[in-house]
Chains A and B, each alone.
Chain A
Amino acid sequence: MASLLFCGPKLAACGLVLSIWGVIMLAMLGIFFTTHSAVLIEDVPFKDTDMEDGPNALQNIYGLYNQVGYNCFIAAAIYVGIGILSFCQVRLNKRKEYLVH
């Protein structure tokens, strides 16, 4: 098996910390978006046409909220992947350190 190690110990540790933070924060953002929190209204990409009068105006906005929420969840899942990768790198680095010494 060719060397699976492609980053040093510091980069792997930073990646691990970043992915843990990313998972937690993006998951929470996703939850807040799917529960249609009003504080996050400015982060939802609605256009003026979505807010025209009609029965669908509210559902349009809610739909957009849900879309952004799902994006956040997918990003959180990607960060889970990056986190697992970083964790493997950290372990490989530790093993390499023990081998040399």
Chain B
Amino acid sequence: MSSLFRSEEMCLVQLFFQTESAHNCISELGHLGLVQFKDLNPGVTTFQRRFVKEVKKCEEMERILRYLEKEMVKSNIVIAATKEKEMVPCARDVLELESTFEKLERELREINRNHATLRQNLVELMDIDSLLRMTEYFFEEAESLLTYSEPPSEDSVSMTVSSHITSRRNSNSSTSGALHLSFIAGVIKQERFPAFEKVLWRLFHGNFVLRHAEIQATEELQAVRGAVKKDVFIIFVQGGRVREKIRKVCEGFRASLYSCPKTLYERKQMSNSVMTQMQDLRMILRRTEEYRASVLTRAAEHVQEWSSKVKKMKAIYYTLNLCNIDITQKLIVAEIWCPVSDLAIVQNALIKGSEQSGSSVTPVLNRIQTQQTPPTFNRTNTFTEGFQTIIDAYGVGTYQEINPAPCTIVTFPFLFAVMFGDCGHGLVMTLFAVWVISQAESFRKWKNEVTDVLIGGRYIILLMGMFSIYTGLIYNDCFSKSFNIFGSSWCVRPMFHPHGPWQNETLQEYNHLQLNPFVPGVYSGDPYVFGIDPVWNIASNKLSFLNSFKMKMSVILGVSHMLFGVSLSLVNFVHFRKFQAIFLQFVPQLIFMLSLFGYLIFLILYKWCITLRSETAPSILLLFINMMLFDYQSEHLLLYGGQKGLQIFLVLTAVLMVPVLLLVKPFLIYRTRMKTRHQVLGNNLNDQHGTDTRSSFSHHQSDEMVSMGDIFVYQAIHTVEFCLGCISNTASYLRLWALSLAHAELSEVLWRMVLQVGLKISSGMGSLMLVVLFAAFAVLTVTILLVMEGLSAFLHALRLHWVEFQNKFYEGSGYKFAPLSFDSLLKTQQ
């Protein structure tokens, strides 16, 4: 029977269903999420499996879908979310989907290619256009150069005039006269221009005229080309060979050259034609973009649905790969692990699946017995899921072992709260957890790792916060200040004359004074109703009191937690019917722990309950050490009469338990083996089977001998681990004290160094400073005390559970139940 405290009982079931109904049946099982398919072909590699081609097809479709989604995101098209559970397509629809996808992809790629080409053309035309416009000016200038020999004047356009033209040229020619200047015009990136200029200079020693101007960046230009700045340039040179050289240089600098007509009229013609071409191109581009948007929008309506369909199909094919196909190709055999209580549901799902596929034969469920260990399945709901996850993180429980998760729901937040212990911080944490719980769905969309962890643990945080408020009230600590709700039990006035020793002068003489509880009236005799008395908050020896209290509390909590762990092992033994182990393991362990550490707790509680004078009170630690060392010399260091006798008895009992744990169980195993060996030997002598059985028997004997040693060693390790572990684990629980001390001190430091500075300013500016300092206080509280200390306390509470608590009873050697579930598949991959 399944219960919260144990993993579910699982059974191995053989499924037989027809090949035609395979898709529908498996999809129904996937929607259920209750069965785990066993791999029936473990020796086969992934490439040799039967449905590997279909899996590849599904992956190809996924790739196309991803490409589509990327394109949609780029064009800012909203992808509609699907809501209903759609049917999984069968093999025929797969082909249809596949062809749709391929067509879409091809279309989209072609559109993109055309778009890029058109854009390129537009860019070129724009360059030509700006070239034509700007070179007008240059041409006029060049003509003026031809006619006039004076050096041109500086103007806004930078010029590189070679004034050496006249000096270096042969005396044959001169600037005036019929000089045939040819030119090269083009566009180059602005950042490359200075280098370009220098290279030309070096090559031609100034036998050229270079003009350049920046192309004005219009908005359209920027949209089409981007933010690259380009310059128009034109070079006037003499001679044809020079042209070739310049052409090569231009190619080196990746300047695009355009042929420019010589006459004004032709240039005007060209300009006009370029204009019209650009208009056309712009229109075509716009149309292309519209078409692309329409294709993507149409696809966007379905892409989510397609994506989930493809994922489901891939999962089905993967599952089919795990099954066995019968020789006749008509029957599929699958083996599944399934919870016993859900067998009926699974059967119904299979019947439904086969009905949908229209086959006449219902699938057959055949439960088989097996020696293999089933997977561990713990049924969880949203609340218990977080706790089960943190238990499984250390080790998944062995099949049908007791599940520590239900106890962890209470003990984990409690141990956290013991270390955190501040009701103000606890309140903030609780409110934060409530907010996360209410906004959990919208947080899931962020798909950040940290938020995922936060959402998974939202109920844990809620419980941690609520328990922290409780322990904060017990420690009487709220942002490092105490509440005085019920009236303190300590009173200062009776310390003064006539009741007590103090005078008015005493106040002047001493900086620190100690209240004496034996003076009547100072201590009312009734302790504070709930929690620590608020007077300790303003006492300077607060830590001496609180340290002693918290240390003893930690030891009490630790020993109780460990005793609880040991008693859980009893439950395990009863369930697995290992009754011998109860007497050989559970009882000695319990007696050992109780007689030593249970007695320690008794001492602590007893010392708290009786009245002692603090000067003569015996230290519990010393008492304990002396008890172990049998040292009873100082008689007055005893708490009660008969203590010596009782302590000696307890120590001897505990010491006696060690050999019981160490030796009894291996000895019993040895004896049973001896008995069976004698029995078998006797049987063998009666039968006449001869030497072969005897030789096989000697093998058996040697195996036994080896494993006897193993058993002894294993038992020794287990005993030592338990006994020494008791002491070290008890000491380990002292971290409960250490962390709560650290938290309290940090909280107090924050108050004193940040907020108190603002409070102590008594002038009018105090309120403004208080506003600023409170903001700083709040930020530091959240980051240091809530986040850092919270994580720290979380980690330590977790460690206490995983190591100190669970190593008393938990084996944790199972494997987790991983059902085929479409819901979790879609959730994880989204």
Contact = CB atoms under 8 A, between A and B. Distances in A.
Interface of A: 18, 21-22, 25-26, 29, 37-45, 53, 64, 67-68, 71-72, 74-75, 78-79, 82
Nearest to A81: B771
B770 A71 contact: yes
Contacts of A64: 762
A67 B762 contact: yes
B759 A38 contact: no
A75 B484 CA distance: 24
A97 to B, nearest CB: 14
A71 B771 CA distance: 10
B766 interface: yes
25 contacts: A18-B775, A21-B778, A22-B771, A22-B778, A26-B770, A26-B774, A37-B484, A38-B484, A39-B483, A42-B752, A42-B756, A43-B755, A43-B759, A44-B760, A45-B760, A53-B504, A68-B759, A68-B760, A68-B766, A71-B761, A71-B770, A74-B767, A75-B767, A75-B770, A78-B768
Contacts of A18: 775, 778
Interface of B: 428, 479, 481-484, 504, 534, 537-538, 752, 755-756, 759-762, 766-768, 770-771, 774-775, 778
Contacts of B760: 43-45, 68
A39 B778 contact: no
A75 B756 contact: no
Nearest to A32: B481
Contact of A71 (B481, B504, B766): B766
Interface of A is mostly: helix
A18 to B, nearest CB: 6
Contacts of A72: 759, 767, 770
A14 to B, nearest CB: 9
Given A43-B760, A45-B761, A53-B504, A71 B767 contact: yes
B538 A71 contact: no
B483, B484, B760, B774 — most chain A CB neighbours (10 Å): B774
A93 B538 CA distance: 47
A44 B755 CA distance: 12
Contacts of B752: 42
Interface of B is mostly: helix
Nearest to B765: A71
Given A22-B775, A78-B768, A39 B504 contact: no
Nearest to A41: B538
A71 to B, nearest CB: 4
A38 B538 contact: yes
Contacts of B483: 39
A39 B766 contact: no
Contacts of A74: 767
Nearest to B476: A39
Contacts of B504: 53
Given A64-B762, A68-B762, A79 B771 contact: yes
Contacts of A71: 759, 761-762, 766-767, 770
B481 A40 contact: yes
Contacts of B774: 22, 25-26, 75, 79
A67 B768 CA distance: 14
Contacts of B771: 22, 75, 78-79, 82
Nearest to B759: A43
Given A21-B778, A25-B774, A68-B759, A39 B481 contact: yes
A42 B770 CA distance: 16
Contacts of B537: 39
Contacts of A40: 481
Contact of B538 (A22, A29, A39, A67): A39
A8 to B, nearest CB: 16
B484 A39 contact: yes
B748 to A, nearest CB: 10
Contacts of B770: 26, 71-72, 75
A41 B538 CA distance: 8
A40 B775 CA distance: 20
Contacts of A53: 504
Contacts of B479: 25
